[in-house]
Amino acid sequence: MFYREAGDFKTSYTEDNQTFPIKFDRYRYYAVLLVAFAVVPFIINDYWVNAVFLPFLIYAIAAIGLNILVGYCGQVSLGTGGFMAVGAYACYKLMTGFPEINIFFHIILSGGITAAVCVAFGLPSLRIKGFYLAVATLAAQFFLVWLFNKVSWFYNYSASGQINAPERTVFGVPVTGAEAAPWAAYLFCLVFTFISAIIARNTTRGMAGRKWMAIRDMDIAAEIIGVNPLKAKLSAFAVSGFFVGIAGALFFSVYLGAVEVGEVFGITKSFLVLFMIIIGGLGSIFGSFAGAAFLVLLPVLLKNLLVGTLGWPTDLAAHLEFMIVGALIVVFLVAEPHGLAQLWRVAKEKLRLWPFPH
Binding site for another protein (CB under 8 A): 12-14, 17, 199, 202-203, 206-208, 210-211, 213-214, 216-218, 220-229, 235, 239, 283
Q: Let me know: does 191 contact 175? Beta carbons within 8 Å.
A: no
d(CA 202, CA 341): 18
Residue 199 CA, distance from chain mean position: 13
Instruction: State the minimum distance, in angstroms, from the CB of residue 236 to another protein.
Output: 11
Identify the H or E element spanning 170.
strand 169-170
Nearer of residues 19 and 156 to another protein, judged by Cβ: 19
Instruction: State the minimum distance, in angstroms, from the CB of residue 174 to another protein.
Output: 30
Nearer of residues 225 and 301 to another protein, judged by Cβ: 225
Nearer of residues 175 and 222 to another protein, judged by Cβ: 222
Nearer of residues 208 and 249 to another protein, judged by Cβ: 208
Instruction: State the minimum distance, in angstroms, from the CB of residue 19 to another protein.
Output: 10
Q: Let me know: does 207 contact 228? Beta carbons within 8 Å.
A: no
What's the half-sphere exposure (Cβ side, CA atoms, 13 Å) at 250?
Answer: 31
Burial category of 274 from C-beta neighbours within 10 Å (exposed 0-12, middle 13-18, buried 19 and up):
buried
Residue 174 CA, distance from chain mean position: 24
d(CA 148, CA 356): 59
Burial category of 46 from C-beta neighbours within 10 Å (exposed 0-12, middle 13-18, buried 19 and up):
exposed
Residue 168 backbone zone (phi > 0: left; psi -120 to 50: alpha; other: beta): beta
Instruction: State the minimum distance, in angstroms, from the CB of residue 178 to another protein.
Output: 35
Among 123, 136, 145, 358, which residue's Cα sits nearest to residue 259? 145
d(CA 119, CA 97): 25
Instruction: State the minimum distance, in angstroms, from the CB of residue 254 to another protein.
Output: 23
d(CA 139, CA 132): 11
d(CA 105, CA 169): 12
Nearer of residues 167 and 219 to another protein, judged by Cβ: 219
Instruction: State the minimum distance, in angstroms, from the CB of residue 202 to another protein.
Output: 4
d(CA 143, CA 343): 38
Instruction: State the minimum distance, in angstroms, from the CB of residue 339 to another protein.
Output: 13
Nearer of residues 234 and 261 to another protein, judged by Cβ: 234
Among 50, 121, 55, which residue's Cα sits nearest to residue 82? 121
Instruction: State the minimum distance, in angstroms, from the CB of residue 104 to another protein.
Output: 17
Nearer of residues 73 and 134 to another protein, judged by Cβ: 73
Nearer of residues 253 and 284 to another protein, judged by Cβ: 284
d(CA 84, CA 261): 10
Nearer of residues 176 and 196 to another protein, judged by Cβ: 196
Instruction: State the minimum distance, in angstroms, from the CB of residue 223 to another protein.
Output: 5
